[in-house]
Amino acid sequence: MYVPPAAPDARAPISDEQLDLKLKRVAIDTNLENVVYLNRDCLIYRIAGFQALSKVEVVAGEHRITATLNVVDDAAIISPDEIGLSEDAFKRFGVEAGALARVRHAEKPASVGALFRKINGERLEKDDYHAIVRDITGGHYSKIELTAFLIATSNGELDRDEIYFLTDAMVASGRRLEWQEHMVVDKHCIGGIPGNRTSMLVVPIVAAHGLLCPKTSSRAITSPAGTADTMEVLANVNLAQDRIASIVREHRACLAWGGTADLSPADDVMISVERPLSLDSTTQMIASILSKKIAAGSTHLLLDIPIGPSAKVKTVPDAQRLRKLFEYVASRMHLKLEVVITDGRQPIGQGIGPMLEARDVMRVLENDPRAPQDLRHKSLNLAGRMIEFDPDVRGGDGYSIARDILESGRALHRMHAIIEAQGAKGFKHDNFMLGRLSHEVVAERDGMVLGIDNLQIAKIARLAGAPKVPNAGIDIMHKLGDRVKRGDTLYIIYAEFPSDLLFAMQQCEKASGYTIGDDTEIPHSYLEF
C-alpha cells in the first residue's frame, strides 16, 4: 500500500540525488502542447511551490523543454520519484525513458511583452512577430497564451503590413524547400465548400503538362475531408521531406500531407487551438495559406475564393477585399498570385467524405460518364489557369490544353504514377465498401432545389463519421436547379457506427440543408453565377 511521505523539512538540505527524477513517457495525446506530469507528493513539487498549470522547464544534460505542469494524485500514473512527459513533449525532448531529469520554474517567453502589447491593441513590428512565432514554434507558449495571441490578431486587429510580418515570421519558423527551378506552381482553395477536391485533379493535369507542383495539403479542420484525408484513401500521405523531394523530381508532383515536412510549423500549432475554438479569421487564413506555400518553395500560386450564402465569403465585394489583402502580402513575399472567384453556392461533386470524394476524383480522371460534371469543369478551369503560368502558353489556351491532357488519359497515368510512388493503398473506386449503415434524406415537397447549405451538409457528414471514418459521409443525388418530387432522395448518409448515424439523422431532422420551392422563389444569390 502506498503511503505518502511526510511533509519535507524546509530547513533540511536537499541532495543532488533528490533533485533527479526518472523520466517517464505518458501515453496522452496533448495535441502539440508540451505537458509535464508530477505526483503531488513529489519532493520537488512540494518544496519548489509549483502549482497546476505552472510553466516549468525540464532539463536532462543539454536537452531542455518548456511545458505546462499537470499534477497527478495516482502513483500508478506517476510515482513521486518520476517526471512524466506527454507524447508530444517526449518526442520533442529526445531523451530515453528512465533517464534522469530535473524540473524547475520556467522563465517567461522573451516575446511575452510583445504579446501583452498586442492584447492591449498596439501595432507590432516585424521583429515582434518573429519573436512571438519563434516562441510558439519552440513550445514556450501555453494554450492559454496562444489563444490570447490568436484572438488579439483576429479579424480587423491587424493592418496589411502586420499580416505580412506574421506571414514572414511563420515562413521563417521552419524549413523552406528549394527546387532549383524558376517556376514552382501550386493551387489552394480557402475552403468551406464540401466535396471541392479539385486539387487532386489539377495536380496530375499540370504535372503531365510539365509544371513542377509539390502539393502539400492539409487535413480537415472543420470540413468532412481535406485533400490529405482524401488522398490517404488512395496512397500514403505521411511522407518525410526527402521522400517528397524524390517523388516530385521524378513525377513533377506529389499529393502529401504538409504536417510531416516541417513547413511553417507555427501554423500547425496555431491550428491546434483554432480547430476546437472554430476560429477562422481572415488574418490567420492569409498567413497560414501563404506561409505554407512559400515554405514549400512555390513561386506561382492560384487561389480559389468561392462565394455564396453559406460559403466563407458571402459576396463579390467581400471576395475583392480579401483578394487585395492576399495580393499585397504575396507581393511582399515575392510570390506571383492569381485569384479566381468561383461559385460556392453548393457542394462540388457528388460525394462528401474521404472515400466518396476519392471515387469522384478517379471517375473524372478515367473520363467515366458517371463523373460529376461540376467537379470536372471547375478542375479544368483551374488547371487551365495554372497552365497559363507557363510563358510558352498563350493566354486563353490553358483550358483546351488541360482538357486534352485529361481526355487523353495522361492525367490518369500521372496520378497512378504518383499513387504508386507514395505507396498505393489498393483502393478500387468501382469496388469499395461505403459505411455499412445508411439513411436516405428525401424531399418533403415537389419543386426545384433553390438552396443547399454548405455548412449544414458538412456538419451532417462529420456527424456521420467523416473524415475519421473514411467510408462515412454523404452521397448527393440532386443539385441546385434540379426538379424533385416529394419522396425523391436528395442525398444518402453513410455511417459505420450506429451512434454516428443517429447523430447525423438527428441533425437532418433539425434541417436537411436543402431548400425546395417554386420558380418564383429563386433567391438573388442563385442568379449571381
Quote the distance between the C-alpha of residue 4 and its chain's center: 46
Q: What is the dihedral of CA 33, 36, 37, 40, to 10 degrees?
A: -120
Residue identified by cell 416529394 is 486
Q: Which of 492, 491, 495 is nearest to 471 (CA)?
A: 495
Q: Find, among 100, 102, 104, 66, the residue nearest to 86 by Cα.
A: 66
Query: Peptide bond before 372: cis, by omega within 30 degrees of 0?
Result: no
CA atoms of 139 and 152, how far apart (whole Å): 19
The answer to whether the CB of 253 falls within 8 A of the CB of 210 is no
Nearest one of 282, 62, 14, 56 to 162, comparing CA atoms:
282
Which among 81, 161, 280, 488 is annotated as catalytic?
A: 280
Q: How far is CA 63 from CA 59, 90, 92, 103, in A?
A: 6, 11, 9, 12
Which of 37, 48, 44, 47 has its CA nearest to residue 78?
37
Q: Is 280 marked active-site?
A: yes
The β-bridge partners of 217 are 257
The pairing of beta strand 300-307 with beta strand 336-343: parallel
* Positions marked active-site: 280
